[in-house]
Amino acid sequence: MPGRRKASRRVALCVGVAMSCISPAVAAAQEAPRRLPLPDPQPADVQEPAGVQEPAEVQEPAEVQGPVLAVPPAMGTNEVEWWKEQVGAAVLEQAAPIPLDLDTLLVDTLLHSPRVLAVGMDAQVALAEVVVADAAFDPLALVESRAGRTSDPVGNTLITGGPPRSREASWNNQFGVRKLTRSGGQWSASQQLGLLDSNSVFFTPENQGNARLSLSLSQPLLAGAGRLYNERLLLQARIESDAAWHQMQSQVQEQIANVMISYWKVYELRCRLLQQRDLLERGLRIERIVAGRGNFDTGPVEMLRAREHVARRRDRLIRAEADLRNEQTLLARWVGSPALSAVASQELIPQVAREWIQEPIDLRAALATGLEHRPEIHLAAAQLEEARLQVAVTRNQLKPQLDALLETYLAGLNGNRDAFGSMIDQFTEGEPGFAAGVQMELPVGRRAAQAKHRAARSQMFRETEALREAILDSRAEIETAVREVSVSIAESAARYRTAEAARAEEEYLQRRWELIAGDGGPAGLVLQDLLDSQSRRTDAEEMLVAARVGYRVALVRLQTAMGTLLTSERIEPVQDAAALGVRYHRHDPPAERSISEKTILE
């Protein structure tokens, strides 16, 4: 006990001597908040402890041209989310600031993104296939003209009536129309006009002009009959076009989601850069104080410890700035706009509101919306519809091939090459001729048709299970997304309290360290606690921003899971068969705001 009292008296004596060396201005500053002021630069006769480098002198920066970087706030501020005031200003050196709002980025993405433009072309190609399949039922115009001369030896005088060779000269012209009906029938109508002459003595009248009007019809009665069977290619093309449309919406929605998530990631990394810069500034402030107190109550251990933390924070600041620049490059890549091609020398500044409103999501409503709008469900349903079509087609092919045939015609004949007179006579002289019949074809056993029908039924069962799986996947993804939204709301509140407590802890340890003296004793431990608390505070601030941004990202992923991201952002794709690609309309904001407008900072 006597030894302890002697040690206490020695410490008190040292403290008294040190306090007597402090200027009156410092003593006056200690009377109120009891905090040591930042010391002046060390006098020339003060020697640094062995093994400790003197910190670099802080010089006033020269005036530079370009954006003014945001400066972290002083310790005395009471606002936890202090970076909101500065994140809208320039934070990068030697970079031209470019303010960006989310609406402009989305419009640029729809206009310039290679992926968006490519998938739009895929949808147009599928739509063109629908036109091709439907054009199979368009009527065909037929025109044929042929002239010829024959010279054949004859072995029968009854052919020519005497001349040894049969010589004929002809010129035949035919025009008409042929059409495939949607029920499977095929009809054709044609008019033939011709000239014919021969050296046969039996050929009369000479220099004939002939005409013939024909009409024919072929109609399947069993296999191949019916509108469904004959429009199968058209129906399949429509189903594939619908699937390509939903696939296009899914990929465009994914691209829009990537842009929005990267946009908020840039905002988060800008906040992190400010926080790391503030952490470094607070470390430098501690380092300057330790260097100034080296003549009084701190030693080389505290100085080395402060410099170690400052060096580590410089390293984290370099990494934070690199991450921000990398994310800017990624955002420019998602957008694909030529205006962002020089992003290496630019600074993208998201225009974000300073308040964030967080609202919970109703799970039942989200599930109902997702089942109605999710592109993957529509795509699986389209594939199931195509499989059902194949079952109906193969069922039709199980029937025998039975066709009804009908043909009728009118004909006229005149001499003196009067073909047009013959065309008139075909309606006024004589009567029409006709022919009717049926044609049947049935493979023995019908094994090929039965195998195709079994395969089609198996494919339909497979697509049914695929649709069921798509519904289950969508449900699970929507439930997870809704849960992530709720979790991000709770995390934001919890991390705000954590950041608030970390800030209060740092301020308490700051005041405690400023009032405690000693070399390697309690002051050294408190200094270590203070430096650690500064890092914990910055970590808590980073986690708070991550939770804030995570809420917006969770909302984007929820809208993507429900398939309503384009609708929520007022984007409407429009398909035009005559246009090249897909056009996108962006409507004025309705009363119900989109994600980018509704979820503003709390």
Q: What average pLDDT does this structure show over 537-546?
A: 94
Highest mean pLDDT among 361-365, 428-432, 456-460: 456-460
Residues 6 or more apart in contact with residue 146 via CB below 8 angstroms: 170, 171, 172, 173
The HSE-up count of residue 238 (CA atoms within 13 Å, CB side) is: 8
Confidence of residue 150 (pLDDT cuts 50, 70, 90): very high
**Based on the number of CB atoms within 10 Å of its own CB, is 473 exposed (0-12), middle (13-18) or buried (19 or more)?**
middle
Cα atoms in the Cβ-side hemisphere of radius 13 Å centred on 477: 21
Handedness of CA 413, 415, 419, 422 (dihedral sign): negative
Reported as a single tens digit per residue, the pLDDT across 157-210 is 888 888 888 899 999 999 999 999 999 999 999 999 999 999 888 888 888 899
- Of the candidates 245, 259, 239, the residue with the CA atom closest to the CA atom of residue 582: 245
Whether the predicted pLDDT of 568 surpasses 70:
yes
Kindly provide the residue ranges of all beta strands, DSSP E only, lying in 376-497, ordered along the sequence.
Answer: 401-414, 433-441
Give the length of the chain: 602
b/e sequence 100-113, b meaning 16+ C-beta within 10 Å:
bebbebbebbbeeb
pLDDT digits (tens, 9 = 90+) for 245-268: 999 999 999 999 999 999 999 999
Decide if 345 contacts 586 (C-beta within 8 A).
no
- Closest by Cα among 395, 367, 263, 269 to 321: 269
Comparing C-alpha atoms, which of 388, 295, 288, 212 is closest to residue 38?
A: 288
Of residues 116 and 52, more confidence is placed in 116
| Phi, psi torsion values for 99, nearest 5 degrees | -65, 135
Split at pLDDT 50, 70, 90, the class of 72 is very low
Closest CA to 263 of 599, 537, 541: 599
User: Which residues, including other chains, have CB under 8 Å from residue 71's CB and lie 6 or more apart?
Assistant: 86
Q: Which residues contact 322 (CB under 8 A, 6 or more apart)?
A: none
- Answer with the residue of higher pLDDT: 538 or 582: 538
Q: Output the pLDDT for position 43.
A: 33
CA dihedral 318, 319, 324, 329 (to 10 degrees): 110
Q: What is the pLDDT of residue 35?
A: 35
pLDDT, mean of residues 144-167? 87
Mean per-residue pLDDT of the chain: 81
Q: Can you tell me the mean pLDDT for 45-55?
A: 36
For residue 34, name the pLDDT band (cuts at 50, 70, 90): very low
> What pLDDT does residue 74 have?
38
Confidence of residue 299 (pLDDT cuts 50, 70, 90): confident
Confidence of residue 356 (pLDDT cuts 50, 70, 90): low
Confidence class of residue 69 from pLDDT cuts 50, 70 and 90? very low
Angle at which helix 375-397 crosses helix 363-373, to 10 degrees, equals 40
> What's the CA gap between 236 and 242, in Å, rounded?
10
Q: What is the mean pLDDT of residues 7-27?
A: 36
Q: Is the pLDDT of residue 12 over 80?
A: no
d(CA 27, CA 559): 61
Q: Regarding beta strands 346-350 and 96-100, do their DSSP bridges make them parallel or antiparallel, or are they unpaired?
A: parallel
Sign of the four-CA dihedral 361, 365, 368, 373: negative
Residue 302: pLDDT band by 50, 70, 90 thresholds?
Answer: confident
pLDDT of 53:
38
pLDDT range class, residue 295, cuts 50, 70, 90: low
Lowest mean pLDDT, pick from 14-23, 383-392, 534-543: 14-23
Q: What is the pLDDT of residue 354?
A: 54
Percent of the chain with pLDDT over 70: 81
Q: How would you write 126-141 as a 3-class SS string?
A: HHHHHHHHHHHHCCEE
- Higher-confidence residue of 9 and 234: namely 234
Is 348 in contact with 98 (CB distance < 8 Å)?
Answer: yes
pLDDT for the residue numbered 561: 93
In degrees, to the nearest 5, what angle opens at C-alpha 169 toward C-alphas 163 and 172? Answer: 150
- Which of 397-406, 493-502, 585-594 is predicted least confidently? 585-594
Confidence at 355, pLDDT banded by 50, 70, 90? low
Residues 305 and 291: beta-carbon distance below 8 Å:
no
- pLDDT for 442: 87
Residue type, position 535, single letter: S
Cβ-based neighbours of 302, under 8 Å, separated by 6 or more? 290, 519, 520, 523, 524, 527
Q: Residue 532, class by beta-carbon neighbours within 10 Å (0-12 exposed, 13-18 middle, 19+ buried)?
A: middle
Cis, bond preceding 67 (omega within 30 deg of 0): no
Share of the chain above pLDDT 90, in %: 50
